[in-house]
Amino acid sequence: MKVENKGLKVWLSNDQHIRLLVQAGFFILIIWIGYQFYGFVKYFETDGQSAWFRRPPGVEGFLPISSLMGIKYFFLTHDFNLIHPAGMILFGVFFLFAILMKKGFCGWICPIGFLSEYIGKLGHRLFKKKFILPVWLDYPLRSLKYLILLFFVWAIITMSAEDLRAFIYGSYNRMADVKMLMFFVHLSLFSMTVILVLMGLSVFIKNFWCRYLCPYGAFLGFFSLFSPLKVTRNPETCTDCRKCTTACPSNIKVHGKLRVHSDECMACAACVTACPEEDTLKLRLSKRSGRSISIRTYAIILVAVFFIVTGIAMLTGYWVSSVQPVEYQHWIHQLDSPELDHVR
Ligand code: SF4
Ligand code: SF4
């Protein structure tokens, strides 16, 4: 027993294992949310023949466009709509993380990032090689996610308060969570092929989807540039061993930087863990002399802020949607109806 405890202690002494625990915890939470929501929808699909499940508000975390519209609408009208309030709260928390703590959402919480990272690790094990695209291809591909982001942001920027209200309170948005679920439950051959291709590419190129195509990551990455917290290197104690650069899943040349200013940095701290020199590579609030925070403290702050903010939202009534079960009952058998078409 003692030997087992010692093994666990050694395992937990690696900061990247702490990150794995946080990622796995959020992943399980998201699977649970997906299961609950599936049960909720099934109940109405079967006209009450299957077991009743409460709708988990956390499912709205998968509706970032609707959340962004809700936030803009709030700033224009001061109306905090309760159609998908949890989505707005989650979007706000992840935005806050980006501004204050870099892309913590991508490196510690996102289920897609988690899967993508471990698919990449599997690829690395299989091929014992890190595939990196040449710069002339990497740069234009990396701009793709910004173009996709621009498309959505531009569409939202040009919407007036009236347009936003029509979308937010419209039937399409009210049932957007169900439509999203149905997209995955009844995956078309095309969508399945795209997902498989992206997964296949992630085997060879680390975080393919996140690096090149994810608009959410692009949004957080852009704002993470303003974060005071950055991986910071002390050139006086650095031995130029380059272990940090080898460990970085975002292919950042950490060994050559004093502060990592990249929008690709996910605050995973793999580089910090890999650095063999004491006090050389740290997450610091400002330049070399600035206050540093350990990876464990970072993890505690991230998890605590997440649960405190979502907890406050639950207690103050800004978490549960105002869309009533009777509406789901009404719409679930007519999801293809033109009334549920996207408002343009
Ligand atoms: S620079 Fe460090 S913290 Fe940033 S993505 Fe690379 S390994 Fe992770
Ligand atoms: S791992 Fe540490 S010592 Fe080695 S190059 Fe990077 S910062 Fe310098």
Residue minimizing CA distance to atom 4 of ligand 2: 241
pLDDT in tens, 214-255: 999 999 999 999 999 999 999 999 999 999 999 999 999 999
What average pLDDT does this structure show over 24-47? 96
Residue 255 CA: which ligand is closest? 2
Residue from 323, 294, 22, 30 nearest 179 by CA = 323
Q: Which atom of ligand 1 is nearest to the CA of 264?
A: 5
Q: For residue 40, report the distance from its CA to the centre of ligand 1, in Å.
A: 39
Residue 195 has pLDDT above 80, yes or no: yes
Which pLDDT score, from 0 to 100, does residue 161 have? 96
* H or E element at residue 138: helix 135-157
Residue 338 has pLDDT above 80, yes or no: no
Helix (H, G, I), strand (E, B) or coil at 130: coil
Strands (E), the chain: 230-233, 281-284, 292-293
Residue 4 has pLDDT above 70, yes or no: no
What is the average pLDDT value for the chain, to the nearest integer? 93
> Exposed, middle or buried by CB within 10 Å (0-12, 13-18, 19+), for 212?
buried
More confident residue, 288 or 312: 312
Helix (H, G, I), strand (E, B) or coil at 230: strand
What stretch(es) of the chain map to CATH 3.30.70? Answer: 230-293
Taking CA atoms, 202 is separated from 38, 122, 196, 207, in Å, by 28, 10, 10, 6
Band of pLDDT at residue 281, cut at 50, 70 and 90: very high
Ligand 2 site-directed mutation target among 243, 260, 273, 284, most atoms within 8 Å of CB? 243
Could you count the other beta carbons within 10 Å of the beta carbon of residue 195? 13
Sequential DSSP letters for 231-293: EEE-TTT-----HHHHH-TT---GGG-SB---TT--S--HHHHH--STTTEEEESSSTTS-EE
Q: For residue 237, report the distance from its CA to the centre of ligand 2, in Å.
A: 8
Which pLDDT score, from 0 to 100, does residue 130 have? 78
Could you count the other beta carbons within 10 Å of the beta carbon of residue 319? 19
Band of pLDDT at residue 342, cut at 50, 70 and 90: low
Q: Check if 277 has its Cβ closer than 6 Å to any atom of ligand 2.
A: yes
Residue from 182, 163, 187 nearest 328 by CA = 182
Q: Check if 278 has its Cβ closer than 6 Å to any atom of ligand 2.
A: no
CATH number of 230-293: 3.30.70
Q: Check if 248 has its Cβ closer than 6 Å to any atom of ligand 2.
A: no
